[in-house]
Amino acid sequence: MNIVVIDYGMGNLRSVHNKFRKLGVECGISADPAEIEAADALILPGVGHYGRAMDRLRSLDLLSLLNRRVLEERVPVMGVCLGMQLLMEHSEEGDAEGLGWIKGNTVRFRLDDQPRLKIPHIGWNSIEQVRPHPICEGLAPDELFYFVHSFHVSLTDPADALHRTRYGYDFVSAVQRDNIFGFQYHPEKSQDAGIQVFRNFIHLVKKTAYVPTESNTLPSVTE
């Protein structure tokens, strides 16, 4: 199995890469179309500005390749932090168009009426699992994860939500549709819980073939 972390000039690529390597998975960091073409799964991490991230993906001429691999060939993809936000159609940050793989927008936290809560949202916070999915196996219903972000996603279809978290108000902290996964929190910084998310993703990628279903799920990692 070969996982490729997409190198589009944003931060946090190396720490995600190292976690997969420690779990015994062949994992590279690359913007080379040939390596992305050969990957069994793709990781889109990132810490930085939404608009500049999309500009970078365009300048690398990766958008059509990524669209084909993810939307047509159904290669599993995981977006982390900024990477999850890029899955949306649009962001208020930079008034930028996104990948559009999941319908929705990325919006800034509205906390003007709660001055004690600072932006960015930084630190440990619990998640609430919206629906069961194999990617969540082994996690507690109120598992703690580490967050660093000023924006969050607003979904068009609530069925795409996987986790919710409360910071002033409830926001979507994980998404899943077919072969597309997104986590607003940082699994690579979330100790055992984050390792479990990565381990579950690896098990899902190892499945021989992925066939989208109406239930919006992949096969169980315990099968």
Active site residues: 81, 186, 188
**DSSP conformation letters of the chain:** -EEEEE-SS-SSHHHHHHHHHHTT-EEEEE--HHHHHH-SEEEE---S-HHHHHHHHHHTT-HHHHHIIIIIS---EEEETHHHHTTSSEETTTTEE---SSSEEEEE---TT-TTS-SSEEEEEE-EESS--GGGTT--TT-EEEEEESEEEEESSGGGEEEEEEESEEEEEEEEETTEEEESS-GGGSHHHHHHHHHHHHHHHHSS-----TT--PPPTT-
